[in-house]
Amino acid sequence: MLPLHQIDAFASGPFTGNPAAVCLLDGPRPEAWMQGVAMEMNLSETAFLLASAGKGGPYDLRWFTPTVEVDLCGHATLASAHFLWEEGLLGASEVACFDTRSGRLSCRRSDGLIRMDFPARPGEPCEAPVGLLAALGLGDGRALRNGMDLMVVLDDEAAVAALAPDMVALARVEARGVIVTAASTLAGVDFVSRFFAPAAGVDEDPVTGSAHCFSGPHWAGQLGRTTLVAKQLSRRGGRLELEVGDGRVEIAGRALTTVRGHWVGD
């Protein structure tokens, strides 16, 4: 039996943040099997951990939506680190290290938060692809693109909260996902966002750590500071603390295990 837990990442309590499944493997498994488990779990991401050098890692880490494997995922990385500490596979002061399709990622615990060291992925202004704004129900918006996602910047955070995209149309836009963001007027929050990835099998992701590798550098430049607080305006909601550095973004949040179990399907 393989440990398989459900963990809410970037959460303030149960029913908040972004739930991820974390499965600790006892050896290599076929991609088709991992994709099948992710489809069975039907969460935005299922993470698979495999110790590559004995207890303490580093761990090989892969992420699957219900339909595809992805190159980078923040909330399931945070959930994976939480799993290792909670299960006693890492000491309380040890750093969690992961080898992934986006290179070596690390997580550490500090001040009650899990702090992830991720690559910055800033974007460049671009023409909004045909159909993007219409799919979002917007008349205008400033578009940017990096190698993974599109981002649309709005002037009004209320417009971000009110979005009701046409997911079928949005899935035809060429990108892993679409971030829609605006500066915030909320106390203690610098910017807000939502993230849509219907082409990857996730209509709206509740809280998307990896999207802040793009939005964090953007808002650091716009606001003239490197320490930021972000809020994702999904129904579940989530808070992220960011430190934008030279080529890296530290993304911090809390995690909570809600379900403990085992995979017994085969």
- Which residues are known catalytic residues? 45
* Contact present, 74 and 209 (Cβ < 8 Å): yes
In angstroms, how far is CA 221 from the centroid of its own chain? 21
Neighbours of 27 (CB within 10 A): 7
* Contact present, 136 and 163 (Cβ < 8 Å): yes
Can you tell me which residue has the tokens 């793009």? 214
- Strand residue runs (E) in 164-254: 178-183, 191-197, 202-205, 227-232, 238-244, 248-253
The answer for residues whose C-beta is within 8 angstroms of residue 211's C-beta and 6 or more apart is: 74, 149, 177, 179, 193, 195, 205
Residue among 228, 218, 208 nearest 121 (CA): 218
**Residue 199 carries which DSSP code?**
G
